[in-house]
């Protein structure tokens, strides 16, 4: 990551979390709150059509947090709305996130099995 | 075969004329350096329609109808319409032709469709199967993105070699008869009060597919440049013309990177075209518009041929031009199956001199 990306990344991950922790929340709980806020705001920004512009500026800095995942769900939802709610949005909603989920869960399962036998 | 020169070049002794042309471009293209040459620049790329596909189809239909009007002909005088675009089953063209009630031949040559349609139209006229043929092509950034790449709002990073599919369409009326063109009366600022020349199609070189094994769909310029060079070299050798015969040699959508590659490959073949060569994709956008390697799409070469080139030829500023639309004949399936990109390029020689 270059400087610009690190800046945005650390802003998102650290600065959003701090106010919650100041109010006495545990780091774990604050993390969960931050995740929810990041997902919601990325969805909103995608809907308003500005997330791709931010992505262009910040690169991986704005994608590595869970925001990239939210964007990859909402973008097809908007795009395929015209083909209808079932065969359009329904069929295409996971067209970007689906491959990531399948591969991620598969990798997790395989490594889990290996870990089980090695332990 | 008296009208075939060499291996791939056709000559048209009856000299089909281009008697009217019309170009429509989107908002972004209208902010680029070529803006003054387009007939219509859209305020927004939806063109008042609900879907991008409908918008593209409407652009193409408007170009066609306006080209007929500018040629001073009626819809009933047109013998056939030849058109293509990038969308699956050439949707934009078929739906454009749905309401025209003119015999329709749909074409797919990816971004080479404009010259493909010009060649076939000129052949129909020169073979005396038609007097007036309507040819055209279109592309739309938003329809192409959703079909070939990712949803518009997905914040993916485009590599430096990526090209921007132009939201553009162009149409021409080719004719066997009279001067026709009503551009002087109807149209453009530049045309007023000046003597207008006739524009003829004299030769065409049908390209063959050249595939150098490039698999990256973001390297279109590199994939198509060898095909463009092959067609240019073939055209010059078939016709016996030197590169200095042409005032302008214009490729379709190699983009900035592809243009450099083409010039390199040409100089490797002993041809220095630096003075006359340019590329529509490289001309379409300003560097500041952040399109990376320039424009692409059927509409890129279609709108520049129908706007800039045709107008300049009518005014006699260009007398001999070689137009080469370049196409990358990949599909979404072929890329996923790991196939390389077949490139193609068709050339059309246009002239203001009424002799071959």
Same domain, B37 and B146: yes
Task: Read off the pLDDT of residues B247-301 as tens digits, 9 standing for 90 and up.
Answer: 999 999 999 999 999 999 999 999 999 999 999 999 999 989 989 999 999 999 9
pTM: 0.91
Helix (H) or strand (E) holding B115: helix B113-126
Flag if B153 and A62 touch (Cβ within 8 Å): no
Contact B64, B174 (CB under 8 A): no
Residue B184 has a pLDDT of 44
**Which of B131, B158, B175 marks a domain boundary?**
B175
Chain B residues whose C-beta is within 8 A of a chain A C-beta are 50-51, 146, 150-157
* Phi/psi-derived region of residue B26, left when phi > 0, alpha when psi is between -120 and 50, beta in every other case: beta
Q: Which of B137, B159, B175 is the last residue of a domain?
A: B175
> Which residue range is the domain that position B167 belongs to?
4-175
Residues B170 and B215 grouped into a single domain: no
Q: Measured between CB atoms, which of B153, B156, B157 is closest to A46?
A: B153
Chain B nearest-CA distance from A37, in A, is 19
Hey, what are B121's tokens?
């139209």
Does residue A6 or residue B236 have the better pLDDT? B236
B23 and B114, same domain (yes or no) = yes
**% of chain B at pLDDT higher than 70:** 95
Distance from CA of A21 to the nearest CA of B (A): 31
Summary mean pLDDT of chain B: 92
Reported as a single tens digit per residue, the pLDDT across B297-338 is: 999 999 999 999 999 999 999 999 999 999 999 999 999 999
Q: Residue B182: is its pLDDT beyond 60?
A: no
**Residue A92's closest chain B neighbor by CA?**
B151
Same domain, B143 and B231: no
Query: How many domains does chain B fold into?
Result: 2
Compute how many other C-beta atoms are within 10 angstroms of the C-beta atom of residue B306: 31
Is residue B166 within 8 A of residue B29, CB to CB? The reply is yes
CATH number of the domain encompassing residue B59 = 3.40.47.40
Asked if residue B304 is part of any domain, the answer here is yes
- Residue A112: CA atoms inside 13 Å, Cβ hemisphere, count? 6
Closest residue of chain A to B142, computed from CA coordinates: A79
Q: Which residues of chain A are at the B interface, by a Cβ-Cβ cutoff of 8 Å?
A: 46-47, 49, 51-56, 59, 62-63, 68, 71-72, 74-76, 78-80, 82, 96
Question: Any alpha helices (H) in A1-119, and if so which ranges?
Answer: 3-10, 18-22, 27-47, 51-58, 60-63, 67-79, 91-92, 97-118
Which chain B residues are closer than 8 Å to A45 by Cβ? none
Cβ–Cβ below 8 Å for A51 and B153: yes
Q: What is the pLDDT of residue B82?
A: 97
pLDDT of residue A53: 84
pLDDT confidence of residue B155: 80
**Contacts of B72 by beta carbon, 8 Å cutoff, 6+ apart:** B19, B20, B180, B181, B182
Q: Which of B50, B152, B156 sits opposite A79 (nearest CB)?
A: B152
CA angle B39/B116/B324 to nearest 5° reads 75
Note whether B123 and B248 are same-domain residues: no
Residue B81 forms part of a structural domain: yes
Residue B170 and residue B22 share a domain: yes
Between CA A49 and CA A57 the distance in angstroms is 14
State the pairing for strand pair B199-205/B343-351. Answer: antiparallel
pLDDT of residue B193: 58
Bridge partners of B9, per DSSP, are: B5, B205
pLDDT in tens, A5-63: 666 667 766 666 667 777 777 878 887 888 888 888 889 999 898 888 888 887 777 77
Domain residue spans of chain A = 3-118
Between chains, do A78 and B151 touch, taking CB under 8 Å as contact?
A: yes
CA distance B304 to B301: 5
How close are the terminal C-alpha atoms of chain A, in Å? 35
Query: What is the average pLDDT score of chain A?
Result: 84
Contact B345, B230 (CB under 8 A): yes
Q: Strand B320-328 to strand B248-251: parallel, antiparallel, or no bridges (unpaired)?
A: parallel
Q: Work out the minimum CA distance from A2 to partner chain B, whole angstroms.
A: 14
What ipTM was assigned to the predicted interfaces of this complex? Answer: 0.83
Residues of B with Cβ-Cβ distance to A75 under 8 angstroms? 150-155
What pLDDT, on the 0 to 100 scale, is given for residue A13? 66
| Together in a domain, B73 and B207 | no
Tell me: do B152 and B229 sit in the same domain: no
């Amino acid at each position: 990551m270059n400087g610009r990306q690190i800046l945005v990344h650390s802003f998102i991950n650290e600065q959003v979390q701090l106010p919650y922790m100041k109010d006495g929340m545990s780091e774990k709980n604050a993390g969960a709150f931050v995740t929810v806020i990041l997902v919601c705001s990325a969805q909103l920004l995608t809907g308003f059509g500005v997330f791709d512009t931010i992505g262009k500026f910040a690169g991986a800095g704005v994608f590595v947090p869970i925001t990239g995942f939210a964007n990859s769900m909402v973008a097809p939802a908007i795009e395929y709305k015209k083909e209808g709610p079932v065969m359009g949005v329904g069929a295409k909603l996971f067209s970007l996130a689906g491959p990531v989920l399948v591969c991620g869960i598969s990798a997790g399962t395989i490594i889990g099995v290996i870990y089980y036998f090695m332990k | 075969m008296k009208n075939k020169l060499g291996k791939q070049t056709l000559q048209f002794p009856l000299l089909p004329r281009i008697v009217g042309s019309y170009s429509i471009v989107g908002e972004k293209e209208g902010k680029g350096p070529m803006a003054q040459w387009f007939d219509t620049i859209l305020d927004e790329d939806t063109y008042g329609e609900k879907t991008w596909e409908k918008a593209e189809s409407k652009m193409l239909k408007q170009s066609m109808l306006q080209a007929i009007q500018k040629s001073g002909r009626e819809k009933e005088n047109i013998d056939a319409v030849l058109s293509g675009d990038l969308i699956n089953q050439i949707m934009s063209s078929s739906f454009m032709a749905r309401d025209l009630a003119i015999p329709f031949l749909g074409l797919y040559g990816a971004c080479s469709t404009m010259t493909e349609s010009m060649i076939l139209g000129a052949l129909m006229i020169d073979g005396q199967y038609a007097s007036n043929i309507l040819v055209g092509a279109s592309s739309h950034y938003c329809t192409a993105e959703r079909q070939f790449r990712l949803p518009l709002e997905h914040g993916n990073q485009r590599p430096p070699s990526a090209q921007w599919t132009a939201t553009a369409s162009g149409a021409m009326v080719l004719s066997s008869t009279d001067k026709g063109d009503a551009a002087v009366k109807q149209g453009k600022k530049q045309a007023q009060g000046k003597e207008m020349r006739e524009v003829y199609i004299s030769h065409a070189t049908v390209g063959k597919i050249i595939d150098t094994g490039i698999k990256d769909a973001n390297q279109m310029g590199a994939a198509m440049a060898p095909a463009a060079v092959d067609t240019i070299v073939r055209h010059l050798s078939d016709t016996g013309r030197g590169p200095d015969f042409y005032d302008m040699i214009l490729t379709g959508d190699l983009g900035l990177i592809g243009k450099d590659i083409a010039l390199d490959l040409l100089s490797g073949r002993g041809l220095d075209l630096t003075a006359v060569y340019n590329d529509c994709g490289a001309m379409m956008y300003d560097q500041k518009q952040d399109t990376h390697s320039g424009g692409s799409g059927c509409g890129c070469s279609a709108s520049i041929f129908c706007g800039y080139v045709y107008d300049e030829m009518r005014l006699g500023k260009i007398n001999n031009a070689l137009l080469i639309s370049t196409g990358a004949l990949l599909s979404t399936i072929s890329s996923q199956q790991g196939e390389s990109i077949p490139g193609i390029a068709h050339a059309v020689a246009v002239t203001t001199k009424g002799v071959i």
